[in-house]
Amino acid sequence: MPAAAARRRRMDEIEDRISTLEAELLDLRKEKETLVADAQNDSEAGQTLPNELLAIIFAHYIPPFPAKYPRVGCGSVSNLMLVCRRWRDVVVSTPNLWRVLQLDDISEHRIGTRLRIPPEVLETWVARAGPSLSFAFFMKPQTSPALEIPQPPTDAVIHLLGTIRERIEHLKITILDDQHASTIFKAELPALRELEVAVHVPESRQWTSRRNLRPVLALHPEDVPLLRSATLWGSNYTENLKALPFKQLTKLTFVDASSSCFRLLHEAPNLVECVLFFRKHHPQDEDRSEWAIPLIEYGKVHIPRMERLTLRPFTYDGPNRGPPNILFIFDAPAALHSIEIPADYLDSCNRNTLSGFFATCDTTETEVCVTGRLSGRSQQYYRSMLLHAAGISHVQFAPMVLDYFDELPVEQER
């Protein structure tokens, strides 16, 4: 009968399908068993890695200095020590994992809200760090500078600094006008390569480098023979020509800077990189004319070895807040091959300024990164402006980079 024949055919099809699925299932089970065995072998291999290789892997787990260096939680050496006894032994015996001591919660001003670190913990950390140490106080406010002011260290930390000064390679620190500076900088820092320093004035809640910074910070070449990079927070530097040995620096950064910083740039002829985060200006401010003063007194800034120049506002407060025609103050060297500049800073520069600034540069190799919002203009407008005025053809844009608190995208780093 036709119906019976159809049922038999269907049953045969189902049997064939079941056989096929059972064969596939068998293959999948075999593959799973192989993967499980491989996973177990990987785990065993991880446990049998030599301690030296584990230490190298751990070093890549921890954020590099000067990125935020946590003491607990993800990315911290403390986290690694909790995995197993062997990992703890490797971490404790690897000085490179302890060479950064970054403190941001020990200020006397925050004892009521943040946990203060016992001195014994600091001493243990330093003892594990070996011959070199990067010492940092977290100086970048997480919100507005007016709301989150980085604070100076406590007496216990200042004392600790005095005991490890010969080992410090990187130092980021906030100092009061005269309370702690004599202890920190009273003797040589022979291993210091990078310094970031600010003077904090609690009564005005501002970062400053006022006249009284000169006796507070006065480092000579023999005090810091290896110092090559410095960052200064503040806006008034005219009285501080002896604050640092500027002639030996290859990188100099000013944070919240005013026109007075140009006086010090004349004292730093060997810079390879210069970074300026300018204090904001409003169109109605009369002091916008201050930018002509250093030009009249000292002439244009010429740094013959400078390869990279970064200009950016310290805090973004809308367009047209930068120093006017800022590139006119610089006499660009032939070595310059990279410049980062906000779009509104470019808007304030006339054609003659642009052509004059890039006149001595190799425009075929020079790259310009235009940051910030374009104020209604297109990218093509700035490309054409730089090409016709200065012959610059390598132009990139980073519209989300507005001020000090923004990081340049990795693919646009030069």
- pLDDT (tens digit per residue) in 133-143: 777 654 443 33
Domain-by-domain residue ranges, the chain? 50-98, 99-247, 250-414
Is pLDDT at 181 greater than 80 in this prediction? no
Q: What is the mean pLDDT of residues 212-216?
A: 49
Q: Binning pLDDT at 50, 70 and 90, where does residue 64 land?
A: confident
Residues 6+ away with beta carbon under 8 Å from 197: 171, 172, 173, 174, 175, 217, 230, 231, 232, 233
Residue 107 pLDDT? 42
User: CA–CA separation, 257 vs 236, rounded Å?
Assistant: 8
Residue 309 pLDDT? 94
Q: What is the mean pLDDT of residues 184-194?
A: 83
Helix (H, G, I), strand (E, B) or coil at 96: helix
Is pLDDT at 252 greater than 90 in this prediction? yes
Give the range among 26-35, 64-73, 264-273, 320-329 with minimum mean pLDDT: 64-73
Specify the pTM: 0.74
How many residues make up the chain in this entry? Answer: 414
User: CA–CA separation, 242 vs 389, rounded Å?
Assistant: 39
Beta strands in 152-264 (DSSP E): 168-175, 194-201, 206-208, 229-233, 251-257
Give the range among 29-38, 65-74, 284-293, 366-375 with minimum mean pLDDT: 284-293
User: CA–CA separation, 304 vs 265, rounded Å?
Assistant: 12
Q: What is the mean pLDDT of residues 341-354?
A: 86
Is pLDDT at 286 greater than 80 in this prediction? no
Q: Binning pLDDT at 50, 70 and 90, where does residue 166 land?
A: confident
Q: Which residue has the tokens 């200095």?
A: 65
Contact status, residue 106 vs residue 154, Cβ threshold 8 Å = yes
Higher model confidence: residue 110 or residue 10?
10
Query: Of all helices (H) and strands (E), which one includes residue 101?
Result: strand 100-103
Cis amide linkage into residue 66, ω under 30° from 0: yes
Q: What is the pLDDT of residues 144-161, one digit of tens each?
A: 333 344 455 566 667 777
Cβ neighbour number for residue 349 with a 10 Å cutoff? 19
CA 414 to chain centre: 14
Contact status, residue 295 vs residue 330, Cβ threshold 8 Å = no
Q: What is the pLDDT of residues 307-320, one digit of tens each?
A: 999 998 887 666 65
User: CA–CA separation, 292 vs 300, rounded Å?
Assistant: 10
Q: Binning pLDDT at 50, 70 and 90, where does residue 239 land?
A: low
DSSP output for 16-40: HHHHHHHHHHHHHHHHHHHHHHHHH
User: CA–CA separation, 185 vs 171, rounded Å?
Assistant: 11
User: CA–CA separation, 57 vs 45, rounded Å?
Assistant: 14
Q: What is the mean pLDDT of residues 367-395?
A: 87
Contact status, residue 355 vs residue 388, Cβ threshold 8 Å = no
Higher model confidence: residue 413 or residue 120?
120
Is pLDDT at 179 greater than 60 in this prediction? no
Is pLDDT at 275 greater than 90 in this prediction? yes
User: CA–CA separation, 288 vs 61, rounded Å?
Assistant: 47
Residue 296 pLDDT? 61
Closest Cα to residue 287, out of 328, 332, 235?
Answer: 235
Residue 211 pLDDT? 42
Residue 310 pLDDT? 93
Q: What is the pLDDT of residues 99-133, one digit of tens each?
A: 887 765 444 334 333 445 677 777 888 888 877 77
Q: What is the mean pLDDT of residues 391-400?
A: 88
Is pLDDT at 212 greater than 60 in this prediction? no
DSSP output for 377-393: --HHHHHHHHHHHH---
Is pLDDT at 84 greater than 60 in this prediction? yes
